[in-house]
Structure 1
Amino acid sequence: MGWAALELLGLALSVLGWAGALLVAALPMWRVSAFLEHNIVVAQSTWEGLWMDCVVQSTGQMQCKVHDSVLALRPEVQAGRTLTVLAALLGLAALLVTVAGARCTTCLKAGRVKARVAGGGGALFAACGLLVLVPPSWFAHLIIRNFYDPAVQASQKREMGAALYLGWAAAALLLLGGSLILAAALRSNPPQAPAFPVKYAAPRRSPSASPTAEYDKKNYV
């Protein structure tokens, strides 16, 4: 596989991961109700997200309410909001930088500068993946800790929602895509020209050769 194809593959994976990160930030299924104590028939289930909470009835009806106060939110929710917004902005910047430095575009002249710009875009995508990875991992740690805490009531325990798994998948795509873009940019970087150009001097004439002999040789030729 050529380096240009590897770069396009990394860009496609990164864009897919960035779109997944935007979807994860909007989904309310970060924490869902845990069905404990062998309760088979449940009237409703609760979904908790970064921006809203939803209650799903057994009949299929769903009611959602946006969080009123930002300062009253739990620390992990506030940090999750901040990191997801930063990841969205960083992913947009990484996309613009990578497209400008990609081999298939003519935004910049081909050379070392274009390769470095593409590598910078790959590094930004990888950093975006790290930002996306933090909130789902933090939520999963808190959910597991509270689930096995005997002091927490059964009605207050939650399980990991689908948004956490999608967040991990999006982070993996961003890290993989950014790494591929960076590797393609580093491997396709053209060699640097020598700092001092080589100068060629005219050949010296031997002191033993006389001008008359050289003139005779030219006449015979």
Structure 2
Amino acid sequence: MASTSMQILAFILALLGVLGATVATLLPNWKVSADVGSNIITAISQMQGLWMDCTWYSTGMFSCTLKYSVLSLPAYLQTARSAMVLSCVLATLGLCLATLGLKCARWGGGQRAKGRAALASGSCFVLAGVLCLVPASWFTNEVITSFLDSNVPESSKFEPGGAVYVAFVSAGLLLAAGLIFCASCPGKRDGAQELTISPADKLLQQQIHQQQLIQQAEYSLQDYV
């Protein structure tokens, strides 16, 4: 069973993962214009995210355009949107359950209830990590494939942006936190350990039981007299 300090570490990792996944979802730099060929002398930088496209002009102006139409977006972008939002929701739910499953917390019920809460929160973190990892990987694959395609003009080539790396790191943090919380759930082995009694404890229990029997006999004798 994981110690209390490991649970606290997992909670901190999960909190950082939730913040990272949320930031990655909102950032507009999932892919940025690549500085290749004639693009090197171009004084305009373009960024594309899940929700908006932004352009940085040579004059210092910065403008963004929201992607209102969902059906016009490619499949990998639609999937990335849905998966990242679900990842943030599940990770937030996992944080709420984790506060109940922490051993150091006084709320959340007994050890069995805390174990179930820890297992539920760990499952939410693992699912959130997978949902964050899949769109980041798919998005990166699409960007690299388009970059290596010779039919795509150099002015339209992009490379993975900072938001993708934030999503990868957040997915790793959520997966690590989820595994720790799942390991902190008491299983059959822990139950067997709780039921196992050492010989010294057995002897002490026998002595206590004998003393109780003697006291009961004395009380019965006194009542009889």
Q: What is the aligned partner in structure 2 of residue 144 from structure 1? A: 144
Q: What is the CA-CA distance between 1:40 and the residue it aligns to?
A: 3.5
Q: For residue 78 of structure 2, what is the aligned residue in structure 1?
A: 78
* Structure 2: 5+ residue stretches without partners: 196-205, 211-225
Q: CA contact under 8 A between 2:39 and 2:154: conserved in structure 1?
A: no
Tell me the secondary structure at the aligned position of residue 40 of structure 1: helix
Give the aligned partner of residue 50 of structure 2.
50
Whole-Å separation in 2 of the counterparts to 1:128 and 1:159: 25
% identity of equivalent residues = 35
Q: Which residue of 2 aligns with 1:98?
A: 98
Question: Once the 2 structures are TM-superposed, how far is the Cα of residue 58 of structure 1 from its aligned partner?
Answer: 2.7
- Would the alpha carbon gap of residues 188 and 103 (structure 1) be closer, same or farther in structure 2, given more than 3 Å must change? farther
Aligned residues between the structures: 196
Contact 1:122–1:181 at 8 Å: present in 2 too? Answer: yes
1:191 Cα offset (Å): 2.3
Q: Is the 8 A contact 2:47 2:53 kept in 1?
A: yes
Q: CA deviation at 1:105?
A: 2.1
Whose helix fraction is larger, Structure 1's or Structure 2's?
2
Deviations 1:22-80 (A, max 9, x none): 00000000111111115433220110000000001234321001112111111111111
Conservation of the 8 A alpha-carbon contact between 2:112 and 2:186: no
**In the alignment, is residue 13 of structure 1 matched against residue 13 of structure 2?**
yes
Contact 1:31 / 1:159 at 8 angstroms: preserved in 2?
Answer: yes
Deviation at 1:187, TM superposition (A): 7.5
SS in 2 for 1:159: strand
Q: What stretches of structure 1 of length at least 5 have no aligned partner?
A: 195-199, 203-221
Could you tell me which amino acid in structure 2 is paired with residue 98 of structure 1? A
The root-mean-square deviation of aligned C-alpha atoms, in Å, is 2.4
Q: Tell me by how many angstroms 1:155 deviates.
A: 1.4
The 3 A distance-change label for structure 1 pair 186 and 58 is farther
Q: Distance in 1 between matches of 2:45 and 2:150?
A: 21
Q: Distance in 2 between matches of 1:39 and 1:81?
A: 29
How far apart in 2 are the matches of 1:156 and 1:84?
A: 26
Describe the SS at the equivalent of 2:184: helix
Aligned counterparts of 1:3 and 1:155: Cα–Cα separation in 2: 54
Indicate the residue corresponding to 1:162 in structure 2. Answer: 162
Residue 92 of structure 1: CA displacement? 1.3
1:132 alignment partner AA = C
Match of 1:41 in 2: 41
Separation of aligned partners in 2, 1:187 and 1:14: 23
Partner of 2:172 in structure 1? Answer: 172
Q: After alignment, is 5-14 or 29-38 more displaced?
A: 29-38
Amino acid at match of 2:46: T
Distance change in 2, residues 1:49/1:74 (3 Å):
same
